[in-house]
Amino acid sequence: MTATRRAFIFDMDGTIVDNMSFHTESWIAFFQRRGKDIDADEFFRATAGRQGKEIIRSHMGEHLNDDEVRALNDEKELVYRELYEPHRKTVAGFDGLIALAKEMNVALAVATAAPNANITFTLDGLDLRRHFDTVVGAADVARGKPHPDVFLLAAERCGVAPEHCIVFEDAPLGVEAARRAGMRAVVLTTTLPAEAFAEFDNVIHIASDFSELTIDELFSS
């Protein structure tokens, strides 16, 4: 009997790399220049996993056309990359986990709300893209998290049924997107404490990093 194909689907920001504080800092700086004061904790909880264009329209107005939104988002992302570049590295244990997963024939995917420039900045900057069967970003789906689109597309491209996928996330909106996709989730507490995920019945494990995770135990959960 052929073994069931399985997949790990990783959110990128805050999961593969511990960078969400830099994203929040860059958003706050971006909005402050426009006379808008943003509470950092509230902003993260409300927006982590949403696409930049969605955040800009929700804070600056639905009247903005696509070109205006794109220019504003590019401006914010440039601030982010300048802030984060000196600190760019993977979360502890990530490299070992994906190496073992590949040995065990587990499909690997990235499913992120990030634009292509930030995907290139992170995955290519750390020489990670070659490890993944597919990378799905903001340019590939119309809606960000908590909609399940990005995870479902990643699973489809890997040829793996949603129920055989495990999503790695750091944000409630991402865990909710995984739940809507019919996928179990592992939470990384890089940004929020475990209590922030208490309401989710699809969370099978919560960890500070990847170093203590065991692949067989995750799939048997």
Q: Among all residues, which ones are annotated catalytic?
A: 11, 13
The Cα 35–Cα 133 span in angstroms is: 43
What's the token pair of residue 91?
Answer: 């979360």
DSSP element (H, E) containing 167: strand 165-169
| Vertex 182 angle, CA 181 and 187, to 5° | 85
Task: Report residue 176 CA to chain centroid gap.
Answer: 12
The single residue listed with the structure tokens 């495990």 is: 166
Q: Tell me the C-alpha distance between 139 and 173, whole Å.
A: 19
Burial 128-153 (b: 16+ CB within 10 A, else e): beeebbbbbbbebbeebbbbbbbbbb
